[in-house]
Structure 1
Amino acid sequence: MPASAERYLEVQRSEEFAQLRHRLRRFIFPTTVAFIVWYALYVLLSAYARDFMAVKLIGNINVALIFGLLQFISTFLIAWFYSRYAAKELDPLADDVYNTLENGTAEPAATTTDGGKA
């Protein structure tokens, strides 16, 4: 049986949904800020510290190339950390919210070390 609009609003106002949004934001906001600062550092150094970025480390590999490669590595690491975080902290709570929406009852999720649901 599909959930009604009122049921969606009720779930949206629930403590579980608020906790899910809080946990998501707890990861997304600091990670996004850190990545933007890291990317801006790369761009600014490339524009204004050309001598530093041109320093050769090994053969023709310079600081700029290493920083550029680290941009890709950091992107993949963030995606990997997020998938682990989501599986541990977000998915169980999202399942509870979904079950509440569909069935009107949530099955209890496992508890994490910080006292919240996993």
Structure 2
Amino acid sequence: MSDLAAPGEDRRSIPSSPVSGQTEDVNWQAIESNSDFRELIREKRNFIIPATIFFLVYYFGFLILVGYFPDVVDVNVIGNINIAYLFALSQFIMAWIVMALYVRRAGTFDRLAHNILTRVKGEKK
């Protein structure tokens, strides 16, 4: 990779090390057009958007049930514990499940990001 940016290229100096204060030119357009970068964005989008939609539907589903169908969620299951309490508590469990799925999937994100960094740093030499 050349030290001079071609006309129209988006190059900005970023610190290569917060300690040393040295800067490197990064060709952001080249990174953006890289297939690994596009795959990273696609993988993140394919997980984050459905997970967010699922959790919002789950969360607001509880509020809709309690607001519009109070008789359904007022049914006692164990002693004085009703469906509404169980559903509310299940949201904490569901948040942990979504978090665990994200942590597992983050390995893929990290691998793709590492590939991008390796390629960018390799081109600098």
TM-score, normalization by structure 1: 0.80
Q: What is residue 9 of structure 1 aligned with on the other side?
A: 29
Instruction: Give CA deviations for 1:13-36 in whole Å, capped at 9, x if unaligned.
Output: 211100100011111111111111
Instruction: Give CA deviations for 1:28-84 in whole Å, capped at 9, x if unaligned.
Output: 111111111111110100101111111110011110000001111000100001100
Name the Cα RMSD after superposition.
1.5
Question: Kindly, what percent of the aligned residue pairs are identical?
Answer: 30
Question: More helix per residue: 1 or 2?
Answer: 1
- How do 1:6-45 and structure 2 match up within 5 A? 7-45=27-65
Number of positions where the alignment pairs a residue of Structure 1 with one of Structure 2: 103
| Structure 2 residues not aligned, in runs of 5+ | 1-15, 17-22
| Structure 1 residues not aligned, in runs of 5+ | 106-118
1:80 corresponds to which of 96, 100, 111: 100
**1:47 maps to amino acid:** G
2:119 corresponds to which of 85, 100, 111: 100
Distance in 1 (CA, whole Å) between partners of 2:120 and 2:62 is 45
